[in-house]
Every structure is written in C-alpha cells, then in structure tokens.
Copies of this chain bind each other. A is one copy, B any other.
Amino acid sequence: MSEGKKSVYKPKPVSGFPEWLPEVRIVEQQWLDHIRRVFESYGFCSVETPSVEELEVLHAKGEVDKEIYVLERLHKEEGDKEARLALHFDQTVPLARYVAQHWDKLVFPFKRYQMQRVWRGERPQAGRFREFTQCDIDVINNDTLPLHFDAEMPAIIWEVLNGLPGMEGQKIQVQISNRKILIGLLDSLQITDEMHVTKVLRAIDKSQKIGYTNVNLEIDAVLKGHPKLDELHHRLGLFTGYVATRFADDRMKFIAYADSLDIDSNIFRAGVRELEAVIKSIPPHIPNDAIVVNPELVRGLDYYTGTVYETVFINDPTYGSICSGGRYDDLASQYINKKLPGVGISIGFSRLFSYLYEKGALPVGAKSPAHILMVLPSEEERATAAKTADILRKNGFNVELFHAAKKIPDQLKYASRKGTPFVWFPFADGHQVKNMTTGEQKPADPQTWKPEKENINEAA
C-alpha cells in the first residue's frame, strides 16, 4: 500500500441489527429502567443467562423450526471437539434450562424477569430484526401454580406499557383467552388427534393475517372428510369472526355466553372456568377495555396449555402482538423429572420501541445525560471549575466539564447542541447558572443549588 493513501472500508448498517444514536438510546434506557422498576415492584428477581445454549438444549424438545445462529470459532482447528453452541432465540428455553439446572437452589414459586437480546438467524429482510431485546416475566412453581398469577401477568403488563415515555398517545389492549376453550370445542366433536388439533389451532391463529375464508380452507384441508366438519365450522363461527371488542365492556359477558352454549366437553368447561377465575382476579383499577377476552386467541406455540395473552394497539391491530405469553403446564420436563407449571409474558421490546420511534412518538431530546455543562472560563480557573463540578456531582447532578477555555458563546453552543439543560459559570466574582430552556441566568451556590420546579424532571 502506498504511503499517504489509506484504504477506507466504509461501514454501513447491518440489516436486522439496529443501533441507536445517543439521544434515542437515552429514551431506550428510560424504557428499560421503567420496565425493570415495575417488574421489581412486584417482587420479580432478575435473571440473565448466557447468550448461547448448547444446540442439544435447544433441540431437547424436538426439532427447532426457528432460525438459529450457530457459532463457529474462526480459528478452529481440525479435531477440536466441542459442544455446538447457538445464540438463544427466545428466553423461555433458557429459563427452562436454568430452572432445571439450578432447581435445588431456587425458592419456589420462582418469579423472574429477564431482559436480554435474542437472535433469529433470518434471511436479511427489510423490517425484520435478527437481533432484538425481549422483556419477559414468568412464574414457575413446583407441581401446581395458582391461577391468580395468570391474572397478575396482564395487570403488570398494562402498568408497564402505559408508563413508557412516548406511549401516552397509544391505546393498547391486552387480549386474553384459554386454549382449552377451542381445544374443548374440537374435543366436543371428537377431534382429538394431536396433529389435527395443532393444525386447526394454528390455522385459527392466523385469522388476523389471512382472513377467515382462508382459515376455513386450511381447516377443510386438515380435516378433509371428517364427519363433523360442517358442525365444526358452525361452532367455530360462534367464537370467531368477532373482534375482542365484542366483550370489551364487560369481561364476564364472555363467560355467560360460553356457558349458554351447548358444547359437551370437560376440556371446554375447564377452560371456561379457568378463564373465569383469571378474569375475576384482574385488579379492579384496570379499565374494562384494557384487558379483554378474545376467544379467537390461541397463540401458535405448542407449549401453551391454558391461559394465553396477546397485546395490540387498539388503533393499529394489524401491527400484531407486541406482548404475548401464556401458561404452560410443563416447562422443563425435557431437562428434569419434575412437574413445573408456569405462566409468563414477553414484551417484544425492540419491535415496540422502533414502532414508536418510526411514528416520531418517542420523547427524543438531549444527546447526553448531563444536567449541567460546567463552563471553563480560562485555564487558570480549571481547578475551580473541576471542584465546582465535583460538588454538584455529589449533590446528584450529572456534570460535564467543558474541555477547553474556548469563548463562552462556543461553550454555550456546545451545551445547546447536546441538549444540556443548564450551564454553570464558575466565575471568580460569583457563580452563575443559566437555564438553557428559559434563557434566564442568575447567581447560584453549588452547595445548595436546585433546578426550578419546571425543570426538576430534566435535572434531578
């Protein structure tokens, strides 16, 4: 390479791996802090697991149909024998493995939250994340798990989502059902073959995406020639084709409706009773239309066995669920000979965050966490400026000391470009502080200074 001429590799964004500028990252941190605060306020403990699991752990429940990233050491040598490692694609499999592995050291019911990145080895595609953050809460118990936890989940989620900065203008709705209701409906027609049940449920799960006509065609294909097919369509019609809002003004309406139907199946009845118990446990302060029954809801994943949840924007339901979950009777039996029922829910953090970002709804402001920029009036005054900054830091403020004794207007411009709300002047003849929002500048004592009330949120 000839001297003086450098080869430059111009980097570009990697499709599916988002990153944010500092001013957006600050809001992302506020979101993560808020979510964590609410989760902890209900006594959930934090767990983080490694980014990888052994491929055998991911396969323990059978073939994985998710796209997975497997790791390869770049400098691996022939003959190196190692377990194959893959990046986790969700936080439920790692939780199951964690609970099985540390079972004797955990206190049950085990209530944990987990906020980590997960990866899907998808083909690069616009709008499709290949790395994203999920925020999960789950409760796991030995042998049995009270249904009250199934009611606690959507209540927590409602509190979390409504407290996120930027969500003020969005109306979200948690939808809830119980898988046993539709499984019981099939059972009442002697459709009990596991493969048939799974395929019918998966078809129904897609109704928002593909429409009822296509759902029905799929069901016809699965149950071709089944003597009860017509009756099945009739009965499904009793539950589907209705948006959840049908029962939005009173969750108990659905229970009365289900009880009025002539569907002979113990599974069906159990599902309705479980749903009733969950509904009755939902805290009274939550508005009726914030958590509603949606009997169409099944969730695609096989492992849910009872309560299921999804969460949609009321004004944009086609965006799909931003927060989903449910109950599983059997979390970890592939790793341990124990019955460990659980219930959990997962916020699709990155999906939700970037949705609001795209809409311009996030309160994106300062490019730095500094509350105060400390002016450096001259090199001689550096010690005073540094000491003043230290005093203010001890009082809980984030203080950036300007790095060079440039002209004051240049230093003010820097604060303004970074969005720093206050600028401090450590003048020899008395300290002053300038409120960058109002432009007001007045004398101040670093030992006792507090921002005016209207700025307290920005600066305290």
**Chain A contact residues, CB within 8 Å of chain B:** 6-14, 17-22, 25-26, 28-29, 40-54, 56-57, 60, 64, 67-76, 80, 82-83, 85-87, 97-98, 100-102, 105-107, 109, 111-112, 117, 119, 121-124, 131, 141, 146, 148-149, 152, 283-285, 333-337, 367-370, 373, 382-383, 386, 390, 393, 397-401, 403-404, 414, 417-418, 420
Pick the 7 closest A-B CB pairs, nearest first: A43-B400, A17-B50, A43-B370, A73-B121, A22-B45, A40-B369, A68-B74
Complex Cα distance A85/B69, Å? Answer: 10
Complex Cα distance A13/B54, Å? Answer: 10
**Given known A334-B8, A369-B45, contact A74–B83 (CB-CB < 8 A):** no
Tell me which of B6, B25, B72 contacts A45 (CB under 8 A).
B25
Oligomeric state, in copies: 2
Tell me which of B6, B67, B337 contacts A6 (CB under 8 A).
B337
| Overall SS of chain A's interface | loop
Complex Cα distance A126/B399, Å? Answer: 42
Tell me which of B51, B57, B74 contacts A9 (CB under 8 A).
B57
B399–A11 touching, CB < 8 Å:
no
Tell me which of B9, B13, B83 contacts A56 (CB under 8 A).
B9
Complex Cα distance A64/B123, Å? Answer: 27
Q: Which residues of B contact A121 (CB under 8 A)?
A: 71-76
Complex Cα distance A122/B398, Å? Answer: 39
B73–A18 touching, CB < 8 Å:
no
**Given known A369-B43, A399-B42, contact A74–B82 (CB-CB < 8 A):** no
